[in-house]
Amino acid sequence: MYGAVLIIVLIFISGLIAYIGDLIGMKVGRKRLSLFGLRPKYTSILVTILTGILIATTTITLLLVTSRGVRIALFNMQAMVAELNTLTQKVAVKDNRLKDMKNEIKSKSEELTSLKEQKKDIEEQLQKTIDEYQVAEKKLKESEVELKELTKTKQKLKNKVNSLGQEVDVLESKIKDLTGQKKVLENRVNNLSYSLKFVGQKYLDSMTGDIVYQKGEMIHSEVIEAGASDKVIVRRLDEFIGNANRKAIKKGIENQKSNRVIKMYEEDLFRVAKALRQKSTRMVVRLVAQKNTLQDEEVVAKFSLYEDYQVYHKNQLIAKKQINNVESLKELEKELETFLTKVNNQAIKDGLIPNSQGQVGSLNFSRFYSLFNKLQRLEKPVQVKVVAKEDIWRSDSLTSNIEFIVRSLAR
C-alpha cells in the first residue's frame, strides 16, 4: 500500500514540475527572455533541460528519503551481490550437508533394520537355549534322583564287601594277578599273530610278486649345477624327484594312495640340498633303492651325491689288450670278457660312477658279437684298444660313447 501511494505521489510531483517548467518555458518564449546571456531559443531549451533534471532529482530524492531499500540498492549494490553469492554458496553447502545427512539417515535405517533382524535371530537362539536348558535341568533332576538311588545301592554293596573281609582281598589280589597274566598273554598272542601275518604276507609276496628294484639299484640319475640359490636348488630337486617318480611308475611300481611312489627321508633331502648349495661344481645326483621293492610297495630310496668332472677327452685311450693265439672260440670269448672287465675296472678307477652291480656300462649282444667276430677273423696276435669317441664325464656310462679299435700285430 505504501509503495502505491509513493508511486502516485511521484507521478503527481513529476507532472506538476513538468507543468511548471512548461509555463516557464512559454513565458520565456513569449517575452523572449534571456538567461546567462543566452538567446531566447537556447534559454527555452535550458529551462526544459533544467525542468527534466529537477524532475529526476526530485524523484530520486523522494525515493531516497522515503525508502530504505532504494538507498541500499543504490549505494550498496556490489556488497549485496557479494552477500547474495556468499549466501548462495552457504545454501549449497547446507544442501550438500542435508544430502549427506539424508544418506547417513538411510544407512542408519538399514543398519537398524539389520540389527532388528539380528535381534530377532538372537532372541530365537536365546529361546532355543532356554528350552534346551529346561530340558537339561529336567534331566539333571532325574539324574540326581538316580544318583541318590545308586549311592544307596553302593553303600549297601560296600557294607556287604566290607563284611567279606580278607577273603575278598585275597580274591581281588588273585583277580589282579590273573588279569595281568591275561594281558601279557594277549599281547604275546597279538604280537605272534601280527608277526605270523606279516611274515606270511611277505613270504607270499616274495613267491608271487615281481621285484621291480633290487637293493642298491639306481632309480634315477641327473647332473645338477651346484652353488645356485635355494629357490633354484629346491626347484631342480623337485624336478629330479618328479622324473624319478615317473621312471619308477613306468618301470612297474603301482600308484600308491598319493601320486608319489618314492619315499625318501627328509634329513637325506636336506643333506643333498645343503651340499648342492655349498658346492660350486657340477654334481651327480643319484636316487638308489634301499631294499628289494615289489610292484605294490613304495620305493624307499636314498640320495647319493658325487662331484662331476671330465674323466676322458675325445680320442683318449681308455684301455688296451693284446690277445695271442687261442685254442678255441670259448677261450677267445673268455679273453674278451676278461678285457671288458678290465675296461670296466679301469673306468671306475679313473672316476666313472658304477651302478649297484659295480658296472659303468654294458655292451649289447650285437656289438659284442661284432667285436668277437673281428677278433676271430684277424691273424693273431691282435691288439684291442678302447678309445673315447667323445668327452666322457663322471656321470656318463660306457655305451655308445666308446669305440673298439682292433688290428693284427702279425705283420
Residues 298 and 334 placed together within one structural domain of the fold: no
The mean per-residue pLDDT over the stretch 118-147 comes to 87
Indicate if 29 and 10 belong to the same structural domain: yes
Judgement on whether residues 264 and 304 belong to the same structural domain of the protein:
yes
Closest CA to 377 of 403, 340, 406: 406
CA–CA distance, 339 with 368 (Å, rounded to integer): 12
Same domain, 358 and 298: no
Least confident range from 77-86, 229-238, 251-260, 301-310: namely 251-260
Reply yes or no on whether the pLDDT at 27 is more than 80. no
d(CA 45, CA 85): 46
Q: What cell numbers appear for 294 in the block? A: 615289489
Q: Are 284 and 306 in contact (CB under 8 A)?
A: yes
Of the given ranges (30-39, 296-305, 319-328, 357-366), which has the lowest mean pLDDT? Answer: 30-39
Q: What is the DSSP letter of 389?
A: S
Indicate whether 387 pLDDT > 90.
yes
Any domain includes 150 = no
Q: At what angle do helices 329-350 and 365-377 cross, to 10 degrees?
A: 120
Residue 399 cell numbers, joined: 655305451
The verdict on 290 and 331 lying in the same domain is no
CB 318 within 8 A of CB 386: yes
How far apart CA 260 and CA 342 sit, in angstroms, is 40
The reply to whether 200 falls in a domain is no
> Into how many domains does the chain fold?
3
**Burial class for 336, CB neighbours closer than 10 Å (0-12, 13-18, 19+):** buried
Q: What single-letter DSSP state applies at residue 254? A: P
**pLDDT-derived band at 385, boundaries 50, 70, 90:** very high
The rounded distance, in Å, linking the Cα atoms of 380 and 335 is 13
pLDDT tens column, 190-214: 545 544 444 444 444 444 456 888 8
Q: Considering only CA atoms, which of 326, 340, 398, 331 is closest in space to residue 371?
A: 340
Domain's final residue, options 282, 308, 334: 308
Same domain, 361 and 304: no
325 and 390 both lie in a single domain:
yes
Q: Looking up cell 649289447, which residue turns up?
A: 364
C-alpha cell of 290?
634301499
Alpha carbon distance 40, 188 (integer Å): 158
Residue 194 lies in a domain: no
Cell numbers describing residue 193 = 599273530
Q: Are residues 304 and 272 located together in one domain of the fold?
A: yes
pLDDT recorded at residue 390: 92
Query: Quick one: 111 exposed, middle or buried, by C-beta within 10 A (0-12, 13-18, 19+)?
Result: exposed
Question: Which residues neighbour 247 within 8 Å (Cβ) at sequence distance 6 or greater?
Answer: 219, 220
pLDDT at 377 over 50: yes
Separation between Cα atoms, residue 103 and residue 98, nearest integer Å: 9
Higher pLDDT, residue 144 or 183: 144
Residues 300 and 335 placed together within one structural domain of the fold: no
Q: What is the pLDDT of residues 153-165, one digit of tens each?
A: 888 877 776 776 6
342-369 pLDDT, tens digit per residue, is 999 998 999 888 887 888 888 888 888 8
pLDDT, tens digit, for every residue of 291-310? Answer: 888 888 888 888 888 888 88
* 159 within some domain: no
Residue carrying the nine cell digits 580278607: 166
Element (DSSP H or E) covering residue 320:
strand 317-323
Range of the domain at 64: 2-75
What are 217's three cell numbers? 639299484
Q: How far is CA 282 from the centre of its chain?
A: 32
In angstroms, rounded to a whole number, what is the distance separating the alpha carbons of residues 386 and 100?
94
What would the mean pLDDT of 314-320 be, rounded to a whole number? 91
Residues 274 and 349 in one domain: no
Would 195 be classed as within a structural domain?
Answer: no
Q: What backbone torsions phi and psi does residue 87 show, to the nearest 5 degrees? A: -65, -35
Give a yes or no: residue 146 inside a domain: no
* pLDDT higher than 50, residue 171: yes
Say which residue the cell 548462495 belongs to. 88
pLDDT at residue 199, as a whole number: 45
- Evaluate if residue 94 carries a pLDDT over 70: yes
The C-alpha R_g of the chain, in whole angstroms, comes to 60
In a domain, 164, yes or no: no
Same domain, 287 and 339: no
Half-sphere exposure of 35 (CA within 13 A, CB side): 14
Residue 375 C-beta-side C-alpha neighbours within 13 Å: 29
pLDDT tens digits for range 248-307: 888 888 766 667 888 888 888 889 888 888 888 888 888 888 888 888 888 888 888 888
Buried b (16+ CB within 10 A) or exposed e, 169-204: eeeeeeeeeeeeeeeeeeeeeeeeeeeeeeeeeeee
- Quote the cell numbers at residue 278: 655349498
Q: Is residue 158 part of a domain?
A: no
- Rounded Cα gap, residues 295 and 212, in angstroms: 6
Residue after which a domain boundary falls, among 246, 274, 308: 308
Are 293 and 356 members of one domain?
no
pLDDT at 208: 44
**CA 259 to centroid of chain Cα atoms:** 21
Higher-confidence position of 25 and 338: 338
Q: Looking at 352-394, list the stretches that DSSP marks H as alpha helix, in order from N- to C-terminal side.
A: 365-377
User: Which of these three, 50, 75, 100, is where a domain ends?
Assistant: 75
